[in-house]
């Protein structure tokens, strides 16, 4: 790409910063953008801006929302005695798609990763504890990913929650160790919710 215009090189640079996008893919995406119509390109740019301007974290569960509170927290039909703890909003979306869980969620916005300098204070643990202390919650279900760091995070949380009067369970291990919630299929997720066990 030595002879390309500065604009194209700049676009390739930005694509390279996206997760999972190497130099080759970035170049392919940039050339794709060059080929699409101006309205299409504008729509893409608008979609990116709109996400940045309108989407925030739910002030209760840290799911993505366009208001103060997400639709799940606002839904009065959901079972408020259970909170399923996940790492990322995309894990929550995967579980919602499975459709067999009617409780609330709490999104940690990451997992403990000491080697990367991610400690408890970088996650939303404090506000999870506050939700438990507020009294309505009877069960916390650990839905962190079955990876070394996900398990470590669940263990850390269960220790903290042991001091509060709440049952701690975790999703059944139907999901192969090391795989990630967001890639699990609907049946696996439903089984994992139905077969949850004491932590």
Q: Write the interaction track for Zn ion spanning residues 12-51; mark x where CB under 5 A is met and - where it is not.
A: ----------------------------------------
Shortest Cβ 63–Zn ion spacing (Å): 4
For Zn ion, the closer CB: 89 or 150? 89
For Zn ion, the closer CB: 58 or 108? 58
For Zn ion, the closer CB: 73 or 128? 73
End-to-end CA distance of the chain: 53
| Interface positions, 57-76, toward Zn ion (CB under 5 A) | 58, 60-61, 63, 70, 73
Token pair recorded at residue 94 = 């995967």
For Zn ion, the closer CB: 63 or 88? 63
Q: Where does 3-159 show beta strands of DSSP type E?
A: 56-57, 64-65, 79-86, 103-107, 139-142
**CA-CA distance, 144 to 149, in Å (whole number)?**
9
Q: Write the interaction track for Zn ion spanning residues 146-175; mark x where CB under 5 A is met and - where it is not.
A: ------------------------------
How many residues touch Zn ion under the rule CB under 5 A: the total is 6
| 108 forms part of the interface with Zn ion (CB under 5 A) | no
Residues 6+ apart with CB under 8 A from 136: 80, 81
Residues 6+ apart with CB under 8 A from 172: 191, 192, 193, 194, 195, 196, 197
The CB density around residue 156, as the number of other CB atoms within 10 Å, is 17
**CA-CA distance, 118 to 110, in Å (whole number)?**
8
Say what angle helices 148-161 and 125-133 make with each other, to 10 degrees: 40
Shortest Cβ 57–Zn ion spacing (Å): 8
For Zn ion, the closer CB: 84 or 175? 84
Residues that bind Zn ion (CB under 5 A): 58, 60-61, 63, 70, 73
């Amino acid at each position: 790409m030595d002879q390309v215009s500065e604009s194209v090189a700049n676009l390739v640079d930005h694509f390279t910063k996206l997760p999972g996008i190497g130099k080759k893919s970035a170049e392919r995406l940039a050339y794709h953008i060059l080929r699409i119509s101006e309205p299409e390109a504008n729509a893409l740019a608008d979609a990116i801006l709109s996400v940045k301007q309108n989407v925030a974290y739910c002030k209760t569960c840290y799911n993505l929302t366009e208001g103060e509170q997400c639709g799940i927290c606002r839904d009065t039909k959901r079972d408020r005695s259970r909170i399923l703890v996940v790492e990322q909003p995309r894990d929550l979306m995967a579980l919602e798609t499975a459709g067999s869980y009617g409780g609330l969620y709490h999104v940690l916005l990451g997992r403990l990763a000491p080697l990367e300098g991610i400690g408890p204070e970088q996650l939303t643990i404090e506000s999870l504890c506050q939700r438990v202390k507020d009294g309505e919650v009877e069960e916390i279900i650990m839905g962190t990913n079955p990876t070394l760091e996900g398990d470590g995070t669940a263990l850390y949380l269960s220790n903290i929650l042991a001091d509060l009067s709440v049952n701690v369970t975790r999703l059944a291990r139907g999901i192969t160790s090391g795989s990630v919630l967001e890639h699990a299929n609907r049946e696996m997720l439903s089984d994992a919710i139905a077969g949850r066990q004491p932590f």
